Structure 1
């Protein structure tokens, strides 16, 4: 284990965190809010920790996959702990575990909240909550790679550990250039949404918070009804961008480089849009009697389907009051999630496709034992290592899900609340059903349950393996 380079990376994350807090500081000055000092103190603390760790570059630049996983996991802990400090110092969320829950929910783009009334919070706290979504959406280590060259050719081990999906590939030969391309697309799409919302006469502050939450597929609202009180125009724009941010960013790169045929052959993306359209159609027809007309039913269905499958977590209506069929479809979409290589969470459409293709292959082998069958996606053969990692991921995922539901059941809430609370946090979605529904929150859970759900949020965002490696003794051995 190369502890020096891990400390170097964590130090840079702390430095960047101080830079990120400039936005809420400016907001506090604009609105003349005394919470400015909470952020200022937090920035100073981040720099006190970060600067000594980054003054000198490590001599040993050997950086393996194990080091990448540990660096990513520890960086996210540093990011979330330092991000929780302003909540505690300002008194917005005085208890450290509650503050940590809210911050982890923000950076992991989950959107689950322990707050019962967000409208009483100062503007700087609200924009910080939403900005954590944007920071965590593409990944802070990806952002670091785009600005900070790490000599030695080991950049890919960081990107693999943080980027979602069964496999991660470079868009161009150099990893740093790949990171820059990803963030250029990310920033460009965010700015485009901001412009469209401003055209719809949405206030600038609201526009920024909504766009940060949409881009990061997070879902923290700045009003108590999430997106319910905003105009239909705002909801439609947000629906479109939620779905777009759930697309594999490699498809956007292919479009930008005018490789249109390759982009439209992206199998995962085609199935992603197919699932969305089918879900909207069924839910729209199933809930038509709850709305004034069929058009409104489909618009609300599209918003909620887009919000859930991309794991954004915004809500425009109380879907916990919808018919059982519609609620069941939404719960299933929680597990499916968005595309790999997007800002969305969940198991990912690509993993679902791999599992289905692997199952089909097994059935065919039962019929034709001597046949040689290969699993392909986008006309490329999927390696056994990817199939194996997908199977292991699903196995560990189900174990974490079962164990988490068992532990939080000690709080004696109903099964639907417990199951959807774990599902919503492990898949980085936000709202569940019943007590943790779109009009509810997670404040009723005990601190033990909140710690379990914090673990679930981090495990979901980091794709389980980087976080789990921290608990293995062999991880901490030196070379």
Structure 2
């Protein structure tokens, strides 16, 4: 294990986190809030640790996959712990575990909260909560890759970091240079965020509300600045947020292909096509089943479309209490929690591409039973899927199921009902936010014990980092020196 280079990268993480805290500081100055000092002090503490770590240049340039995974996992843990300091210093949250829970929920774009009344928070705190979504949506290390040749510019270093942090069964470079790929991804991400922000302003939303809502939508996080989430805003605002939640759940490679004028390749992306089909089918079925819950057809379609988009993209915003919908509709939403958005998007969940690969693998095995001597390759978007991708998908599903079952079992010690426990783990492991029953869209996660919150914190981090980087922290061989 190359500890020196890991420390060097973590140092840059802390320095950038200090820079990120400038936005809530500016917000506090603008609104004359004393809580801004909490961010200033936290930023100074980040720099106090981060600057010495980046001053010492490492001579050992070896950086393999295990370094990439360990670096990403440790970076997200440290990022979350330091990001929780403003809540504690500012006196907004007194329990350290609650503060870390709220921050992890922000950076992992989960949107699960322990706060009972978000409208009572200073605006600088609300800005920080929403901004953590935007930072974590595309990934903080992807952001740093845009700006710095962290380890001497060798593409292998960058690939190992990007593989560990990017969502999906596999990561491909859009262009030969990984750093250029990171810049393209963040350019698309920033552009879509700005477009949504402008459209929300056209809907007579305040600048503060439009900015925080855009951050939450872009990162598919879902921290609201109102106690009723998005329910109090106009239908126009709700439609805009619905559209952009769906857009941010699409594989960003599709946008790159469109910008490269490769329209046919973009249209023929299987994952994007099935993602949109699932959304459309879910809206149709739920609208028919839950039509009695609303007074008009327009209202039905608007609320159902919003919630379907919010759940499948794992954003977690709400315009209505979908926990009151019929069982058939609620069941569809729970299924969507697991499916999630596309790989290479800011959305969470298992990912549509993994389900496509699993179904194709099952069809191949059934065909092999009938024709034992046949040789059949699994293809996605017209390309043969490599065996290691299929293997990692199968292992991912096994690890996912084991973590899910263990988490439900452990938090059941708090003695809440099965629906609450099951959907609480679903909401955190899939980075969604709200579940059903006691963790429904009008409730929160404050009812759980500190032990259960630690389990759910682990689930949020594991879900955002695609399980393996976090699990490797518990493998002894990961820590052995060369």
Tell me the equivalent position of 2:480.
477
Q: Distance in 2 between matches of 1:122 and 1:295?
A: 36
Q: Quick check: 1:319 aligned with 2:322? A: yes
* 1:379 aligned to which of 382, 396, 403: 382
Give the unaligned 5+ runs of structure 1: none
Q: Does 1:133 align with 2:133?
A: yes
Could you tell me which residue of structure 1 aligns to residue 51 of structure 2?
A: 51
Offset at residue 73 of structure 1 (A): 0.4
CA displacement 1:334-391 (0-9 Å, x = unmatched) = 0000000000000000000000000000111111111111110001111110010000
Match of 2:239 among 236, 239, 249: 236
| Structure 1 residue 36: Cα displacement | 1.1
Please give the alpha-carbon distance, in whole angstroms, between the structure 1 residues aligned to 2:380 and 2:475: 33
Q: Select which of 382, 407, 424 maps to 1:404.
A: 407
Pair 1:267 & 2:270 matched: yes
Query: Which residue in 2 is equivalent to 1:434?
Result: 437
Q: Does 1:175 align with 2:191?
A: no
> Alpha-carbon deviation of 1:56?
2.9
Q: 1:251 aligns to what?
A: 254
**C-alpha distance in 1 between matches for 2:340 and 2:240:** 20
Q: Does 1:87 align with 2:87?
A: yes
**Which position in structure 2 is the counterpart of 1:336?**
339
Cα distance in structure 2, aligned partners of 1:8 and 1:116: 39
Give the deviation of 1:299 after TM superposition: 1.1
User: Is 1:36 the equivalent of 2:36?
Assistant: yes
Distance in 1 of aligned mates of 2:292 and 2:100: 41
Aligned counterparts, 1:358-373, within 5 A: 358-373=361-376
Q: How far has the Cα of 1:294 moved from its partner?
A: 1.4
**Could you say which residue in structure 2 is the equivalent of 1:118?**
118
Mapped partners of 2:191, 2:216: distance in 1: 15
CA displacement at 1:231 relative to structure 2 = 0.6
The corresponding residue for 2:21 is 21
| Counterpart Cα distance in 1 of 2:148 and 2:58 | 14
Tell me the equivalent position of 1:222. Answer: 225
Higher mean alpha-carbon deviation, 302-311 vs 146-155, is at 146-155
Q: 1:340-355 residue pairs with structure 2 within 5 A?
A: 340-355=343-358
Post-superposition shift, 1:61? 1.4
Whole-angstrom distance in 2 between the partners of 1:109 and 1:40: 24
Work out the number of aligned pairs and report it: 479
Q: How far, CA to CA, are the matches of 2:302 and 2:36 in structure 1?
A: 40
- Name which of 406, 418, 422 aligns with 2:421: 418
Q: State the 4+ residue runs in structure 1 displaced beyond 6 angstroms.
A: none
